[in-house]
Structure 1
Amino acid sequence: MLNVDSAPPVPGLDAFNAQGAEEAEAGLLACCASRVFAREVAALRPYRDLDRLAEVAEAVVLGLDWSGVREALAAHPRIGEPPREGSPAAGSEPSGDRERPSGKHSGRPPERHPAREAAWSRGEQAGVDTAGREVLDRLAEGNRAYERRFGHVYLICATGLSAGEMLARLTERLGNDEDTERDVVRTELAKITRLRLAKLLGAAP
């Protein structure tokens, strides 16, 4: 009998569960470029379904200390600007070809895939593609004002948002105090991470 409560199968979940630690962490870094996040989420495999993986990932993101959040933010382009395809997250370095024994970790930083991250960022920010010059200029000005105020890039889960909506939320968030804004940033990072996990495992286009 079919279990109607079971989650639909996710194409890449079994492979993700079976990967060596470094390979799994490399994929996770494309979803959230914090090494602590990647290490903790990879270490808790296997996951029974995507929902459980997403729940764990969200909890880890929300529990990151601020240095971990800043590391993740460094991989995100400014809203309205092209992704930086060649820029690794802070502290990561090329690792080259190597054996990846299943379930073991060599101690080297996992290899990231910035081209994949850049492609995802372009898709997530598709709302700026049709924006007029005035809105783009105001976004650029808002980005600068935000970075002066908070010291890091303006992060928003941009999927499905127009450039005008991104700008309106940026303007609203400029009124936050630092603690409030850090909570908002963690929440937005968790949303982005959840969407990217589905892409990583082939459960989303």
Structure 2
Amino acid sequence: MDRVEAFNSLPAGDLSAVCAAPSWVAAMTAGRPYPSRQAIVAAAEAALRDLSWPGVLAALSAHPRIGERAAGDSKEAAWSRREQSAAAGSDEATTAALAELNRAYEEKFGHVFLIFASGRSRAEILAAARERLGNDEAAERPIVAEQLRRIALLRLERLLDELG
């Protein structure tokens, strides 16, 4: 079975490791069968761009705080640990700064600070968190949605690479 066929036959629940928003999973499941990898990625991107704010919040509920090690042996937890590897290897001062920024961000916005952490240094993550704390909710929501989109598309590519 090739990767596209394998994706087309995945249980819907397996797709939530890519993005935990039920509306995204439903859209991806409803679009089956996909004829190609490119069609899968295009459908995923469109469904991510169509997520309502409640859909984004549902997806955020599956993301650990930046700098905290995702628990468990699920695919999503493993991907999260890999994506946050730079932040996870922090020294004590960086760990404390991330914890404080997470707390301040959650207090201000009511959800976890989400950032596409792959390939970013601890200093870059800290700087982005500090900068984004200066946003109001109207400015922050599209940034969060874009970070979620980037993470989900990376995870989708990983999932497709692992299939077949």
Same fold (TM over 0.5): yes
TM-score (norm 2): 0.91
Separation (CA, whole Å) in 1 of partners of 2:59 and 2:143: 14
Match of 1:83 in 2: 70
Match of 1:16 in 2: 7
Separation (CA, whole Å) in 2 of partners of 1:63 and 1:172: 26
Q: 2:5 corresponds to which letter in structure 1?
A: D
Q: Please tell me whether the aligned partners of residues 27 and 200 of structure 1 are also in contact (alpha carbons under 8 angstroms).
A: no
2:126 paired with 1:167: yes
Q: 2:70 corresponds to which letter in structure 1?
A: P
Deviation at 1:55, TM superposition (A): 2.1
Q: Please tell me whether the aligned partners of residues 33 and 71 of structure 1 are also in contact (alpha carbons under 8 angstroms).
A: yes
Separation (CA, whole Å) in 1 of partners of 2:82 and 2:68: 12
Q: How does 1:10-159 map to 2 (within 5 A)?
A: 11-17=2-8, 19=9, 23=11, 25-85=12-72, 115-159=74-118
Deviation at 1:154, TM superposition (A): 0.4
Q: 2:4 corresponds to which letter in structure 1?
A: L
Q: Please tell me whether the aligned partners of residues 155 and 189 of structure 1 are also in contact (alpha carbons under 8 angstroms).
A: yes
Separation (CA, whole Å) in 2 of partners of 1:124 and 1:27: 19
Structure with greater helix share of residues: 2
Q: Please tell me whether the aligned partners of residues 115 and 125 of structure 2 are also in contact (alpha carbons under 8 angstroms).
A: yes
Separation (CA, whole Å) in 2 of partners of 1:84 and 1:184: 26
Separation (CA, whole Å) in 2 of partners of 1:61 and 1:129: 27
TM-score (norm 1): 0.74
Q: 1:189 corresponds to which letter in structure 2?
A: L
Separation (CA, whole Å) in 1 of partners of 2:136 and 2:38: 33
How many residue pairs match? The answer is 163
Deviation at 1:203, TM superposition (A): 6.0
Deviation at 1:34, TM superposition (A): 0.8
Q: Please tell me whether the aligned partners of residues 105 and 133 of structure 2 are also in contact (alpha carbons under 8 angstroms).
A: yes
| Partner-residue secondary structure (3-state), 1:30 | coil
Separation (CA, whole Å) in 1 of partners of 2:66 and 2:98: 7
Q: Please tell me whether the aligned partners of residues 50 and 198 of structure 1 are also in contact (alpha carbons under 8 angstroms).
A: no
Q: Computing the radius of gyration over CA atoms, which structure comes out larger, 1 or 2?
A: 1
Find the partner of 2:144 among 160, 171, 185.
Answer: 185
- C-alpha deviations, 1:79-107, integer Å up to 9, x for none? 0112143xxxxxxxxxxxxxxxxxxxxxx
Structural RMSD (CA): 1.9
% identity of equivalent residues: 44
